[in-house]
Structure 1
Amino acid sequence: MAHQITRLDATKIAELIRTREISPVEVMQAHLDRIGAVNPKINAIVTVAEGALDAARAAEVAVMAGGKLGPLHGVPFTVKDSIDTAWVLTQRGSPIFRGRVPDQDATSVARMKNAGGILLAKTNLPEFSYWIESDNLLSGRSNNPWDMSRTPGGSSGGESAAIAAGMSPLGLGTDLAISVRGPAAQTGITSMKATHGRVPMTGIWPRAPRRFWHVGPMARSVRDVALAFSQLAGPDGQDAFATSTARSDSGVGQRTVGQLRVGWMVGPGFGPVDPEVAATVKAAAEALKGLGVLVEHVGIPALERDFALDVFNRLHVMEMKPAFQEAMAGHEGEMYKMARTMLSLPDTSMKDYIEAEQAAERLRDGYADYFTRYDALITHVLPIPAHKHGVEEFNIDGQTVDATYLQGATVPLNVTGLPGLAMRFGTSQEGLPINVQIVGAWQAESTILHVASLLEGVSLVRDLHPDI
């Protein structure tokens, strides 16, 4: 029974708790047992919340009392270790913050708890959330549950690995350029980076550059992502970017299937893409067409004029370096490789910085023009499936690129602030998950959740759980 519980999605767990078919204590214990069994191999969980079982017992009392229950009542959730959790270690993947215990929850964590969720554990990340692998000097390297020799991604790689391995049904990650969508693709789960500002970043570090950072839900089903987002969205009076009061409609789109207009592309403008990945994107497009959706192969000229990864690199270094320098002052001996790399990067000249700002505006305009004709866009998330640990250079479709190119299709949504959802739709010849990315217009989360639910309904992928 315990193994079955850890394969359920959060929505089903909440339903079974409400109907008293399972208890919150059973659910929590099943996940704690799963952590004990598989985390030594995966190293996704870095801290288990001491009060998790006590909170589950309290949740069980509330169920038996027959009162009103929140939509996530009794459901365990995990949180990336850059997100503050009251009285639970939040060490940000660095010895510099060893032993740090916040006295207040981040807004996103507080909202999950207000919905009835129970904090289960904190998950691994790269130092300061800054790289595409989850490895650091404090808690070590996380492994991909599909293949331990491969990465579960970064920077929310511990979170993606925990969910894929059944240690958690639902969690929170953060995304600067790739970090909830890339790890989801490498482990075959679902995640969403909503429109910038939809979910407050209060209580999350680093905040610089604020206009590119997002926090978002990660889970094993589209409906779980929709449910979590409906609880997370909205201003909190502290994050000035979080101003929209609009709420998600939990994935129910405003158009019928026959009215939806969807484009698909794998480039140009994203960098090279592996043929298996490109074929998966096309397969997703064809699946939607088979449902009656109007689907067309498209291009976005703005992405060809201004390579978003280059734009991002010219903008974010100037804003992140001061935050890193402040945090590491007097702790230079405790820096890991990516912090050292960040500090070694040359400053962007003012001329290049202004030009990059103008390029970012052109990218926003280009997407705005696209969304006058289409409701959604389907692309790849990553140009390749999950890669081996420590690889810094890749040959993709005959072109040699460095590891930053893995962000080619995700970083445009951080530069523009547009929402994007990552979900599995294929499997590589090596048996690794391949995800697609569904992109929407500004604050059109309901549309991309709707398209994602359509794809989930026709997906032929059956091996959703790695054999650990």
Structure 2
Amino acid sequence: MSTELIYSDATKLAELIRTREVSPVEVMKAHLDRIEAVNPKVNAIVTIADGALKSAKDAEAAVLRGDELGPLHGVPFTVKDSIDTAKILTQRGSPIFKGRTPETDATSVARMKKAGALLLAKTNLPEFSYGIESDNLLTGRTKNPWNLDLTPGGSSGGESAAIAAGMSPLGLATDLAISVRGPAAHTGVVSLKATHGRVPMTGIWPREPRRFWHVGPMARSIRDLSLAFSQLAGPDGQDGYSSSAVPFDAGVGIANERPLRVGWLVEPGFGPIDPETTSTVQAAAEALRGLGHTVESIRIPALERDFGLEVFSRLHVLEMKPGFVKATAGRSEDEISYMAKFMLGLPDTPAADYIDAVQGAERLKDGYAEYFQKHDVLLTPVLPTPSFKHGQEELLINGQTIGAMGIMNITSHLSVTGLPGVSMRFGTSKEGMPIGVQIVGSWQTESTILHIASLLEQASPVRDLHPNL
């Protein structure tokens, strides 16, 4: 029963708890036992929440009393260690914040608890959530459960690894340019970066700038993403970007009135792409065609005019550096990670380049707006290649060598434009590593992309869903 529990999705666990087939205490103990067994190998969990078992006992008592239960009642969830959790360590992967314990929950955490979910643990990340690997001077390096020699990605690699390894059924993580989508693809789980502002960033570092930052769910199934997002979305009166009151339809798998218009794109506009990744995207496109949707290979000229990662970098480095300067002021060399030093050492973006990048972001938005006049969904890779070795600085992709930061070539477009995207597995490399696809929709069309993702989930050729740890 324990093995079944650690690999059930959150929706199933909530149903089992609601019908009294299993207790919240059994579910919590199963995940705590799993953490004890495999976390020493993976290092995804950095802090167990104080009172996790007590909260499960309280949840069990509520079931036995016949109380009205939330949609996630009794289900454990984990939280990336950049997201504030009341009375529980939130150290941001940095010696600078060692021992930091917030007084209040982030809005996203509070909403999960309101839905009945129980905080289980905090998960690893690079310092300040900056990096494509989840490695820092305070809590060390997280490994990919599918191959411990390879990275689970960053910056939410601890969260993705915890879910993939059966240590957590559901989690909260942040995304700046890649951070929920890339790690999900590296480890074979699913994630949602919603339209910018749909989920408040209140209680998450940095407070500013946050115009590219997102917080969203990572999970084991598409229906879990939908359920979690239905609880997370909406303004909180504190995050000025979170102002959208557009309702979200949490029904996944609902019938559409017409076939959806799907375009798929691998190149150009994203840099070199691994052939196995290209084949995976094509296979997903053909699966949707087989389900009756209109599918075609497309190009988006704006992506060929303005490269998303370059636009993002020129904008964000200048905006973020003051925050790094403030956070690291007076700190010794051994307290500051490689990435923080790297950011501090970057030259400021000249004003003319910054203005051109601002305009480039607007051109990208216009290009996507034009695309979505004729299409409902865009299908792309998540990453240009499957997972790679820890510390690797260059990647050889389809005969071309790029810097490892180029892993963000595809995901960064959605951060610059604020578009929503789902990351999910749809293939496997010849080395046995997960390969993901990204389902992109127009602004505030999360229902559409989650519906398409649920169809691909059912059509997926992947059967080996759990790493052998």
Alignment TM class, shorter chain as reference:
over 0.9
Q: Which amino acid aligns with 1:364?
A: K
* Counterpart-to-counterpart distance in 1, 2:163 and 2:254: 30
Q: Which amino acid aligns with 1:53?
A: L
Q: Which amino acid aligns with 1:358?
A: Q
Deviations 1:88-121 (A, max 9, x none): 0000000000000000000000000000000000
* SS in structure 1 at match of 2:31: helix
Deviations 1:283-306 (A, max 9, x none): 000000000000110110000000
Q: Displacement, 1:427?
A: 0.3
What TM-score, normalized by structure 1, do the two folds share? 0.99
Q: Displacement, 1:267?
A: 1.6
Q: Displacement, 1:251?
A: 4.4
Matches within 5 A, 1:203-242: 203-242=203-242
Flag the 1:262–1:109 CA change in 2: closer, same or farther, 3 A: same
Is the CA contact (8 Å cut-off) linking 2:425 and 2:434 kept in structure 1? yes
Is the CA contact (8 Å cut-off) linking 1:253 and 1:447 kept in structure 2? no
1:96 corresponds to which residue?
A: 96
2:460 corresponds to which residue?
A: 459
2:290 corresponds to which residue?
A: 290
Flag the 1:366–1:230 CA change in 2: closer, same or farther, 3 A: same
* Counterpart-to-counterpart distance in 2, 1:286 and 1:251: 24
Q: Which amino acid aligns with 2:4?
A: Q
* Counterpart-to-counterpart distance in 1, 2:16 and 2:244: 33
1:381 corresponds to which residue?
A: 382
1:175 corresponds to which residue?
A: 175
1:430 corresponds to which residue?
A: 431
Q: Which amino acid aligns with 2:392?
A: V
For this pair of structures, how many residues does the alignment match? Answer: 468
1:302 corresponds to which residue?
A: 302
* Counterpart-to-counterpart distance in 1, 2:38 and 2:158: 13
* Counterpart-to-counterpart distance in 2, 1:235 and 1:425: 33
Deviations 1:434-466 (A, max 9, x none): 010000000000000000001011112111100
2:82 corresponds to which residue?
A: 82
Is the CA contact (8 Å cut-off) linking 2:381 and 2:436 kept in structure 1? yes
Is the CA contact (8 Å cut-off) linking 1:258 and 1:292 kept in structure 2? no
Output the aligned Cα RMSD: 1.0
2:57 corresponds to which residue?
A: 57
Deviations 1:306-341 (A, max 9, x none): 001110110000011100110000114210100000
Q: Which amino acid aligns with 1:113?
A: K
* SS in structure 2 at match of 1:120: strand
* SS in structure 1 at match of 2:422: strand
* Counterpart-to-counterpart distance in 1, 2:76 and 2:307: 40
1:403 corresponds to which residue?
A: 404
Is the CA contact (8 Å cut-off) linking 1:207 and 1:213 kept in structure 2? no
* SS in structure 2 at match of 1:238: coil
Matches within 5 A, 1:114-193: 114-193=114-193
Q: Which amino acid aligns with 2:361?
A: A
Is the CA contact (8 Å cut-off) linking 1:150 and 1:388 kept in structure 2? yes
Q: Displacement, 1:50?
A: 1.2
Deviations 1:172-215 (A, max 9, x none): 01000000000000000000000000000000002343110000
1:73 corresponds to which residue?
A: 73
Q: Which segment is superposed worse, 300-309 or 324-333?
A: 324-333
* Counterpart-to-counterpart distance in 2, 1:259 and 1:151: 38
Q: Displacement, 1:254?
A: 7.6
Unpaired runs of at least 5, structure 1: none
Q: Which amino acid aligns with 2:468?
A: D
What TM-score, normalized by structure 2, do the two folds share? 0.99
* SS in structure 2 at match of 1:434: strand
* SS in structure 2 at match of 1:372: helix
* SS in structure 1 at match of 2:439: strand
Q: Which amino acid aligns with 2:115?
A: A
* Counterpart-to-counterpart distance in 1, 2:305 and 2:61: 59
* SS in structure 1 at match of 2:13: helix
2:196 corresponds to which residue?
A: 196
* SS in structure 2 at match of 1:54: helix
Q: Which amino acid aligns with 2:370?
A: D
* SS in structure 2 at match of 1:400: strand
The alignment-based identity, stated in percent, is 70
Q: Which amino acid aligns with 2:424?
A: M
* Counterpart-to-counterpart distance in 2, 1:129 and 1:228: 22
* Counterpart-to-counterpart distance in 2, 1:149 and 1:289: 37
